[in-house]
A and B are shown apart, each in its own frame.
Chain A
Amino acid sequence: MAEDSSLSGGAPMHRGPYISMITNRTMNLLIRAAMLFMVGVFLALVLNLLQVQRNVTLFPPDVISSIFSSAWWLPPCCGTAAALIGLLYPCMDRRLGEPHKLKREWSNVMRCVAVFVGINHASAKVDFVNNVQLSLTLAALSVGLWWTFDRSRSGFGLGVIIAILATLATQLLVYNGVFQYTSPDFLYIRSWLPCIFFAGVITVGNIGRQLALYEYKVSQEKTHQD
């Protein structure tokens, strides 16, 4: 991807193989992190828009400005989290020694992202009878997402842990009054939030794994040379 240009320009031929490998690896990491960050920011913006658009006024300029002004820190946070998770997943796969085998293709990743956006869409737009039903449905959908696109125990575990942590963080943020939900039903937040977090973690992990697919072998070589 963007790596081509950076490497073709930046890696002179005469450099030693070891150094260039190191540079490549760090470059790879950086580029992967940057891409994941952008994905996270983009998803955060879009999904945030999805969440707030129920209260849209008629003036597009106002809506845009309100989105970019009210929670400017939200997209970068999501981006950073996405980068971390996306790097964590392949790393953990490697540490555990059970590489992710299931359907590693970009079309599947796209499908996963689409389903994730769909889950968000459902949470924002579909009118449910009560919150329990909404949460249960979303939980089922999230687990279905995991089953369809991940199926690894490590992925599930990491997803659950991060979802719990993120929910906790959101609770704290809301408790401290940084922002609030319109109709909280689970302490201070909406009860479907953990499901969304879980699905997001799975999705970003999928993307991260797919990105890491190219770097996998090289890094492995390197660890052996160490």
Chain B
Amino acid sequence: MTVRERLRQNISAAFYRHGLLCASYPVPIILFTSASILTCCYPLLKLPLPGTGPVEFTTGVRDYSTPSHESQGDLSERPDWYRGPPVAYIQQVLVKAAVSPWDNSLVPVDVFRSPLGRVFSVLEEIRNHVYTDRSLEALCLQVTDLLPGLRRMQAVLPEHGCLLVSPGNYWQNRRDLFDADPDLLKTVHQHEPKGLHTSATLKDLLFGVPGKQTGVNLYSKKRVVTYTITIALSSYDARFVASLRARLKQLHPSANCTLREDHMVHVHFKEEIGIAELIPLVTTYIILFAYIYFSTRKIDMVKSKWGLALAAVVTVLSSLLMSVGLCTLFGLTPTLNGGEIFPYLVVVIGLENVLVLTKSVVSTPVDLEVKLRIAQGLSNESWSIMKNMATELCIILIGYFTFVPAIQEFCLFAVVGLVSDFFLQMFFFTTVLSIDIRRMELADLNRRLPAEAGMPPPKPGPLRPRETPPPPRPSPHTITLQAPAFRNLRLPKRLRVVYFLARTRLAQRIIMVGTVIWIGILVYTDPAGLRTFLAAQVSEQSPLGEAGLPPHLGVAPVFPGGDPTSTLSGLPAPEPTPLPENQSQGHRAAHPEVAPVSSPQITWGPEDEELWRRLSFRHWPSLFSYYNITLAKRYISILPVIPVTLHLSPQEAIDTRHPQDTHHAPPPSIKTSDLQTDLTLYKVAALGLFAGVVLVLLLFCLYRVLCPRNYGQNGVPHGRRRRGDLPCDEYGYSPPISEISPLLLRGHSMDIECLASDGMLLASCCLVGHIRVWDAQTGDCLTVIPNNGLRRSSSSGCWEHRDGWDHISACEAENIFPIRRRTTPARPALFGDQPDLTPLIDTNFGLSPPSQALSSSGFDFGGLVEKAYQEHEPSPTLAFPPSPPASQQRRRSLGDQPVLPPELPPQNNGDWDSSVWAMELRGNLIATGRSSGKLELWDAVEGSLRCSNEDGVSGITALAFLNNRIVAARLNGSLDFFTVEITKPLGLLQYRGPPGRGSLPPSPCYSSEDVISCQLTRSVQCAHQKPITVLKAAAGRVVTGSQDHTVRVYRLEDSCCLFTLQGHSGGITAIYIDQTMVLASGGQDGTICVWDVLTGSRVSHVYGHRGDVTSLVCTTSCIISSGLDDLICIWDRSTGIKLYSIQQEVGCGASLGVISESLLVTGGQGCVSFWDLNYGDLLQTVYLGQSSEGQSVRQLLVLDNAAIVCDFGSELSLVYVPSVLEKLD
């Protein structure tokens, strides 16, 4: 254990030093980290880019031989896939045909009808070619059936024979069908798929050239028709191919053709990723993103959430890249599919450490220096980080010893990734975090400066050590939270989201990004198609080599009638024999003959050499896949093309005309044709836009689904606020000790039951019945009123009774819950006919914490009373059932008192047998209501009983003390009004300072000489049918709420019942009324009603909580309610719309208070949290004690001097509003 401790200390110290280092030199460290990331990623450059694009390898034709299956070691330049015979040899015969010279008597259809018609003769030639008893039939790739799904292509694609495709396939290679076809274009286009298609279309397959270059359309300017006849050969016979080439060249000479014929290209195709493989991959990525989203959502209380989330993601991603890079460096080539294992690696490495670090750092006290905060946060988390890391490494090591190659490789990557992730966390992320925190501090400082100008000097830092008593405060002052202008708007969150979207134009940007990504994907997946498309666009706009070059006057014949639209043509067309090609012999193709703008001219350029490159790279795979031949992981060899040039005379074109060709519609205007050509572009744009919109919608849906924060009025609060979890983290993360230590008021031996304050004094009463009076400023104990007599103790005096108590508890030391199990043997029976109901009643009805087991009974006393009667009959001294130990347990007010010392006779003026159920403090008078029905008035300073009243016998459940009137609500539903009268000297002495609430009429303060009497002025016997649960008084009104579902409003002066407010369908559990006559009530049915006190009408009615409403507070603009469901809901007061809700810890829901208009304080498990009311942001959490477990804050009282008093077990905590709040506003 000592080794462990020492290790832990060492680690902690090391992390502390490291944190100091990181925060001190942020820039050099970030530079260093970036450099190391880049260095480690450098080997990645050598890796081939992942993708499915084909790979090429070029060999010479002359010395070509089919590669063997065995790899030949010395040929290092050969790719490893270049082994064995290819799937097929592709021989393309590239035909360029034109009707020349062009005649204006020709119709547009003539451009391609007769040139296409010549394909049949060329085909015939190829089919019949025989070279030394070898025919094409013997050499070509024989194909069988098409795949079953392709019935519609059966008429077009060859079956059961040579794989030989050409445009002639459209007409089943029959000239007569071709001649009979009235509309060639329709035939060609009827097989085209609708919409945008990125892969190879049938037109591409048959023509063998990109669709734009075929020239088969009515508006072709060049009037040259290009197509290929594609032959797939199963075996390569060099002599046959050569003879075919020679024969075709001889028949159809291409005069100026300088195509190179000495290279064949082998194209290797990667594995096709089908949609079936993509779906699981996409699923894993979606899960990954959901994980990242949920993780980074927890980053909180930093300057820039997005920045830190980005840094976290960058940390993880670059650690992965580093791991791949390092593994490559050391010769471990990744064989796994990177894209597939990547999400799992991210999940294994995880974002947890980063989040824990952030949380730890932001939980450090904000008034420390940034360096120290970082260092503290790091060292707080060092042990858990190291432990987690060691565990993960162990697991991965275990995985490594499975000896499965794939898993071993994965583990190797994961180990390197983990280590580099750790490195990056420690250096990169920590530094970014320090920069962020520093920015936050600077921003806060900047924001503070103008606000301070008009404000009184800020009060000294509230960080006070608990040993030294603080100096007395000059005057109680409230914090005025100056806020920026927009802060006062206090918009609902959904509106703020909308404004945020509008301000940043997020949607537009996302759409833009989506479009760009989509186009990028398009380019990536179909580079050839888009490139050809763009090339075609460019070439159409600027006809190269035609207008750009100076006219070659001497050679080029001018055909004046060449332009069909020209009106100059009156001359007959010249004879076509002087072919432009023949005249321009000897000129290179790159420097072509200049012809009239519209004359068809067949040129051969280097771009024709490998025209197939412009096809989609899925061209060949899709052609072969129609016959169920896969090219995945195989290759084909493409032989050099055979050029064929065809010139047709106009007469020939006219002869082959179909009768309907001349009736063809005249060419539409250029504009529409442009429109048609541009249609693809629009399609691309529209689709991109659509994709973007879909992306946005998807993101929105994801947001709605995954972030179900509820803004609606009646909605069920689903979204737990993760921010609220900071105090009670379920994440295996113990919050560091806050440096802001509250002032602990010690002295009570039992749990504190009642709390009352008037701003200057603070009175508390514990379960035993001791009342202590404290100075609310300094926390000094002024008076102790023990329950065994009128013994007055000084603030430092010892407490005699305590000895007796200790003795008793020592007697029952073996008992875990001595008090709760105590019987009351010596208790004199005051009411012989009544059982002791005291344990059954929760005096503090407004603050009933939710319970696990017993709370459902609510305030229904009937059953419990019955039970108590039954228990009372057989054994009056029966031990009470042991209370369950859970702290969430509803705390019963236990009327048990310690055994009276026998030598102390029961005194008349003090009722020591009943417990204090209600307590109020005004001036220096403490009014206590006891379970016996007795009302007592104590002097708070002297601790003496000034008067008591025993007019009622039913227990006082609630008290209100206003001016000189006391209202007591009793268990039997009656309401008693008392008047406090001071008979002797009338001089009112202020105890100390002005009373707190300025708006209140000053409470009377009494000197010790006064004779004070308390007279019952009026008793309303049946104020309610059932026990009164809440009693509140303000603005001259007394409001009572009862179990009988009604709220009654009384006038304080004449105790006249003004209204009976009905509207709840359950007992009233909470009431709020203030000076401005705002009355709100909450009931067991979970509804909250707002009433108009003047008219008694219901202003609004909202269904707020599941279960009882336990506490209600109103500010000028909103209503804050808490319920048994541990939710704190903030409602708009005027509209009744729920603004947001805060998830509280179990059992702490009821403790809340409002410090100012925009500051809410809630109690938690051993801590209090401060919230910004406008935004619902958690500002600060202050821990009340070292052991934050167990004790939860049940009562919380906001004093006027910006202090908060809350009960913390048997202690009281006086918390001054911490500095973060001033810093924020």
Please tell me which one of the listed residues B350, B404, B628, B1065 contacts residue A111 in the complex, with CB atoms under 8 A apart.
B350
Could you say which of B290, B732, B1107 contacts A110, with CB atoms under 8 Å apart?
Answer: B290
Interface membership of B710, Cβ < 8 A? yes
Among listed A7-15, A83-91, A165-173, A192-200, interface-contacting one = A7-15
B347 close to A115 (CB less than 8 A):
yes
**Contact B344–A118 (Cβ < 8 Å):** yes
Contact partners of A133 in chain B: CB under 8 A: 402-404
* B441: interface (CB < 8 Å): no
B347 CB contacts on chain A under 8 angstroms = 111, 114-115, 118
Task: A67 to B708: give the CA distance in the assembly, Å.
Answer: 34
- One of A63, A67, A128, A217 near B1106 (C-beta < 8 A): A217
User: A21 at interface (Cβ–Cβ under 8 A)?
Assistant: yes
Find out whether the CB atom of A46 lies under 8 angstroms from the CB atom of B630. Answer: no
- Whether B1178 sits at the interface, judged by CB under 8 Å, is no
Asked whether B1085 is an interface residue with its Cβ less than 8 Å from the other chain, the reply is yes
A106 within 8 A of B: yes
Chain A residues contacting B340 (CB-CB under 8 Å) are 121, 125
Tell me which residues across on chain A come within 8 A of B490, comparing CB atoms: none
A4-B716, A137-B402 given; A103·B730 CB < 8 A: yes
State which residues 118-141 of A face B: CB under 8 Å.
Answer: 118, 121-122, 125-129, 133, 137, 140
* A46:B280 contact, CB within 8 angstroms: yes
Q: B272 at the A/B interface (Cβ < 8 Å)?
A: yes
User: How far apart sit A101 and B1146, CA to CA, in the bound complex (Å)?
Assistant: 14
Q: Which residues of B contact A181 (CB under 8 A)?
A: none
B704 CB to closest chain A CB (Å) equals: 8
A13 touches B288 (CB 8 A): no
Chain A nearest CB from B705 CB (Å) reads 6
- Beyond A64-B276, A114-B344, A218-B1125, whether A17 also contacts B350 by CB under 8 A is no
Query: When the two chains form their complex, are residues B730 and A101 in contact, meaning their CB atoms are under 8 A apart?
Result: yes
**Interface Cβ pair total, 8 Å cutoff:** 175
Does A185 sit at the interface, judged by CB under 8 A?
no
Bound CA span A101–B1106, Å:
23
**Residues in chain B near residue A104, CB distance under 8 A:** 730
Shortest distance in angstroms between A96's beta carbon and chain B's nearest beta carbon?
15
Nearest-neighbor residue (CB-CB) of A223 within chain B:
B856
User: Quick one: which of B705-764 are within 8 Å of A by CB?
Assistant: 705-706, 708, 710, 712-718, 720, 722, 730-732
> B718 touching A128 by the CB < 8 A rule?
no
State whether B395 touches A49 (Cβ < 8 A).
no
**In the complex with contacts A105-B294, A111-B350, A133-B402, A7-B276 CB distance below 8 A:** no
B732 touches A103 (CB 8 A): yes
A4-B708, A104-B730, A114-B347 given as contacts; is B276 within 8 A of A49 (CB)? yes
Q: Contact at B404–A225, with CB atoms within 8 Å?
A: no
Where the two chains meet, the residues of B that have a C-beta atom closer than 8 Å to any C-beta of A are: 147, 149, 272, 274-277, 279-280, 283-284, 287-288, 290-291, 294-295, 297-298, 340, 343-344, 347, 350-351, 395, 398, 402-407, 625, 628, 630, 632, 705-706, 708, 710, 712-718, 720, 722, 730-732, 850, 852-857, 1065-1066, 1084-1087, 1101-1103, 1106-1107, 1124-1126, 1146
- The answer to whether B855 and A224 touch across the interface, beta carbons within 8 angstroms, is yes
Q: Is A56 an interface residue (CB 8 A)?
A: yes
Chain A interface (Cβ < 8 Å from any Cβ of B): 1-4, 7-8, 11, 13, 16-17, 20-21, 24, 28, 42, 45-47, 49-50, 52-53, 56-64, 67, 101-107, 110-111, 113-115, 117-118, 121-122, 125-129, 133, 137, 140, 144, 213-214, 217-218, 220-221, 224-225
Task: Give chain B residues whose Cβ lies under 8 Å from the Cβ of A127.
Answer: 404-406
Nearest chain A CB to B1050 CB, angstrom units: 27
Residue in A4, A106, A140, A221 whose beta carbon sits within 8 Å of that of B718 in the complex: A4
From B296, which residue of chain A is reached at the shortest CB distance? A107
A110 cross-chain contacts in B, Cβ below 8 A: 287, 290-291, 294
Q: In the complex, are the beta carbons of A58 and B404 less than 8 A apart? A: no
Q: Flag if A214 contacts B720 (CB, 8 Å).
A: yes
Supplied contacts A118-B344, A127-B406, 11 more A-B pairs, CB within 8 Å: A1-B718, A11-B714, A13-B1087, A13-B1101, A21-B1106, A58-B630, A106-B706, A107-B294, A125-B406, A214-B716, A218-B1106
Cβ-closest 7 pairs across A and B:
A224-B856, A107-B294, A17-B1085, A110-B291, A126-B406, A106-B294, A8-B712
Within 8 Å CB of A103, what residues of B?
730-732
If A46-B280, A49-B280, A217-B1125 touch, whether A13 touches B714 (CB-CB below 8 Å) is yes
Q: List the A side residues contacting B351 at CB < 8 Å.
A: 107
> Across the interface, do A114 and B287 meet the contact criterion of CB distance under 8 Å?
yes
Judge whether A107 and B406 touch: CB under 8 Å. no
Given A16-B1065, A24-B716, A221-B1106, also A1-B283 (CB < 8 A): no
Residue of A nearest to B621 (CB): A58
How distant is the Cα of A106 from the Cα of B279 in the complex, in angstroms? 23
- Report the Cα distance A121→B294, complex, angstroms: 23
Given that A118-B347, A217-B1125, A221-B1106 are known contacts, is A46 also in contact with B404, CB under 8 Å in the complex?
Answer: no
CB distance from B45 to the nearest CB of A (A): 28
Q: How far is the CB of A12 from chain B (nearest CB, A)?
A: 8
Which residues on the B side are within 8 Å of A47 (C-beta)? 280
With a cutoff of 8 Å between Cβ atoms, the chain A residues found around residue B1126 in the complex are 217
Give the complex CA separation of A82 and B525 in angstroms: 38
Question: B1115 → chain A, closest Cβ, in Å?
Answer: 24
Contact of B712 among A4, A60, A102 (CB under 8 A): A4
Chief secondary structure at chain A's binding surface = helix
- Assess whether B1065 is in contact with A17, with CB atoms less than 8 Å apart: yes
Task: Return chain B residues, CB-CB under 8 Å to A129.
Answer: 403-404
Q: Which of A7, A52, A213 contacts B714 (CB 8 A)?
A: A7
Least CB separation from B622: chain A residue = A58
Q: How far is the CB of B94 from chain A (nearest CB, A)?
A: 28
Q: What CA separation (Å) do A213 and B718 show in the bound complex?
A: 9
Bound together, the chains give a CA A132 to CA B147 distance in angstroms of 39
Residues of A within 8 A of B850 (CB): 217
| A126 to B335 alpha-carbon distance, docked (Å) | 12
Contact B280 A117 (CB under 8 A): yes
Cβ of B149 and Cβ of A61 under 8 Å apart? yes
Contact A128 B404, CB 8 Å, known A103-B732, A113-B287: yes
- Contact check, A114 vs B407: say whether CB atoms are below 8 A apart: no
CA distance A130 to B241 in the complex (A): 50
Q: Pick 22 A–B contacts, CB within 8 A, sort by A.
A: A4-B718, A13-B1102, A49-B280, A62-B149, A63-B274, A101-B730, A102-B730, A103-B731, A104-B730, A105-B298, A105-B730, A106-B290, A106-B706, A107-B298, A107-B351, A117-B280, A128-B404, A137-B402, A214-B717, A217-B1106, A218-B1106, A225-B856
Distance of A32 from chain B, by nearest CB (Å): 12
Cα A129 to Cα B857 with chains together (Å) = 64
Closest B residue by C-beta to A47: B280
Contact at B853–A224, with CB atoms within 8 Å? yes
A121 to B82, CA, bound (A): 31
Contact B280 A56 (CB under 8 A): no
Name which of A49, A107, A122 has the most chain B CB atoms within 10 A of its CB.
Answer: A107
A1-B705, A217-B1126, A221-B1124 known; A50-B287 Cβ under 8 A: no
* Contact A63–B276 (Cβ < 8 Å): yes
**Shortest CB distance A149–B (Å):** 12
Known: A101-B730, A111-B291. A46 touches B279 (CB 8 A): yes
Q: Which residue of A lies closest to B730 (CB)?
A: A104
CB distance from A117 to the nearest CB of B (A): 6
Looking at the assembled complex, report how far the CB atom of A53 sits from the nearest CB atom of chain B, in whole angstroms. Answer: 5
Q: Is the CB of A114 within 8 A of B1106?
A: no
Contacts of B1101 in A (CB 8 A): 13
Closest partner residue, chain B, to A129 (CB atom): B404
Note all chain B residues with C-beta closer than 8 A to A56: 274, 276-277
**Chain A residues near B297 (CB-CB < 8 A):** 107
CA separation between A22 and B720, bound complex, in Å? 22
A11 to chain B: which residues have CB within 8 Å?
714, 1103
Most buried by B among A57, A104, A221, A225: A221
Q: Measured between C-beta atoms, what is the minimum distance from A136 to chain B in Å?
A: 8
Residues of A within 8 A of B406 (CB): 122, 125-127
Q: Which residue of B is nearest A222, CB measured?
A: B856
